[in-house]
Amino acid sequence: MMTYSAQTRVALSDPEAIIAPVCEHMLEHGGVARMEGGVRVLEFSGARARFNLTEDGTLVDVEANSLESLYFVRVAVASHILEFAEPAAPIIVWSGDGGEMARPPNFQILRVTDIRDITPHMRRISFRGDNVARFARMDALHLNVLCQHPDLAAPQWPTVGSNGLAQWEDPERRPRLRKYTVRSLDVAAGTLDIDFVIHADAGPGSALAETVQVGAEIGVIGPGGGGLVDADWYLFAGDETALPAIARMLECLPAQTRGKAFIEVSDKSEVQQLKFQAKIEVIWLNRNGAAAGTTSLLVDAVRSSILPNDGSSVYVWAGCEFAAFRQIRSHCRSELGLKKDEHLVVSYWNRGNSSE
Ligand SMILES: Cc1cc2nc3c(=O)[nH]c(=O)nc-3n(C[C@H](O)[C@H](O)[C@H](O)COP(=O)(O)OP(=O)(O)OC[C@H]3O[C@@H](n4cnc5c(N)ncnc54)[C@H](O)[C@@H]3O)c2cc1C
């Protein structure tokens, strides 16, 4: 029995041609589908959606265990119907629970309390917020920072539209979203730190870190991201952008955990002192000043790593530039034959392209 529910009736010119791919696509996001008396039913963890193709339009019912889950299932259904119906733009208006949500439940405003450079190109910004506990779990490490449009005098925050999606008063000048990692947090004090790489060709994320002042309000949306799977032996690999995530994961590993962490930095001035209990050997890969994303240091290091074959469970985690990400992921899958739950390789940025 789910506690919250919402409904919408959508006029679609060819409902089956839209709803079938919507459901198939949502299976890729972990949903489970079945037919119940001619009605498509999709179940997610803590939520359910039913698609009833009637003569009066497609009736969509969603139910969830919490208001936040209801928000996400409404977003998933509405955004995918709009995507698969393109170029048509069917009108979606939800009724039922959730109408009172003024802002997305995963949005909050943080206030900058401190700014300091921990290395020449890594700026640590501390924030205070009402709900930093959302980022305490190891599968809740990442968030989207809202980088405000430079022409706006006051920040723009999202509201929830009647279609369930986040909406902006001035959509043309809506904030750019950039992904960052919560490097550390103190739930009791209501504070968290984010380490920003100050990079060449600064986009909105790097520019925000360069210009923001103590006292500024910064909107964030999150958490997001996959967790770290339990293993006996870990191989970590990442460049500066993944250093905050690797450092935080190392700190949470039990003392008996073994493994290696390859961390690529531009030069030795970017090396940080990392403190943790696990028996993980940290190896700093020095680009000797070469531009980020232009060397094969990380890929070579991962390729030359020998994983234990003494029955230990193994997990490979990598976060890096897109080209290295592709090669490391391919190595993990093809050469090392790692299963889905034995590795997570993520593209953290894409050289020459903004993460728009
Ligand atoms: C899950 C996740 C967590 C992340 N955590 C962090 C984090 O904690 N700290 C952090 O600094 N980054 C982190 N990143 C990476 C960050 O989101 C990207 O670097 C992002 O591109 C920065 O946005 P931007 O607006 O500065 O640049 P964009 O507008 O995205 O890009 C502008 C230009 O800058 C280049 N560029 C982007 N990043 C870099 C870089 N690091 N070095 C050199 N050139 C670059 C792009 O190729 C492009 O040419 C994370 C990414 C992901 C996916």
Q: What is the CATH number of the domain that holds 256?
A: 3.40.50.80
Whether 190 shows a pLDDT value over 80: the answer reads: yes
> Is the omega angle on the peptide bond into residue 120 within 30 degrees of 0, that is, cis?
no
Average pLDDT over residues 58-85: 95
Do 111 and 220 reside in the same domain of the chain? Answer: yes
For 266-290, the pLDDT digits (tens) are 999 999 999 999 999 999 999 998 9
Supply the residue whose CA is at minimum distance from atom 19 of ligand 1: 349
pLDDT at 29 over 90: no
| Average pLDDT for 158-166 | 96
The pLDDT, as a whole number, for residue 44 is 84
Q: Which domain holds residue 270?
A: 233-349
CA 120 to chain centre: 26
On whether residue 193 sits in a domain, the answer given is yes
Strand partners, 318: 237, 345
Q: Taken in order 71, 76, 342, 185, is the CA torsion positive or negative?
A: negative
Q: Which residues of 121-159 are buried (b: 16+ CB within 10 A; e: fewer)?
A: bbbbbbbebeebebbeeeebbbbbbbbbeeeeeeebbbe
What would the mean pLDDT of 296-308 be, rounded to a whole number?
Answer: 97
Distance 197 CA to ligand 1 centre (A): 7
Segment (H or E) for 247: helix 243-252
Same domain, 111 and 211: yes
At 350 the pLDDT is 98
Does residue 44 or residue 308 have the better pLDDT? 308
Do the bridges between strand 107-119 and strand 95-96 make them parallel or antiparallel, or are there none, so unpaired?
unpaired
Q: What is the CATH number of the domain that holds 151?
A: 2.40.30.10
Tokens of 106: 């995963």
Q: Which atom of ligand 1 is nearest to the CA of 204?
A: 25
209 in any annotated domain:
yes
pTM (two decimals): 0.94
Work out which ligand 1 atom sits closest to the CA atom of 181: 8
102 in a structural domain? no
How far does residue 96's CA lie from ligand 1's centre (Å)?
A: 39
Count of the separate structural domains present in the chain: 3
pLDDT for the residue 38: 87
> Does 354 map to a domain?
no
- Report the separation in Å between the CA atom of 235 and the middle of ligand 1, taken as the mean of its atom positions: 22
pLDDT at position 221 is 97
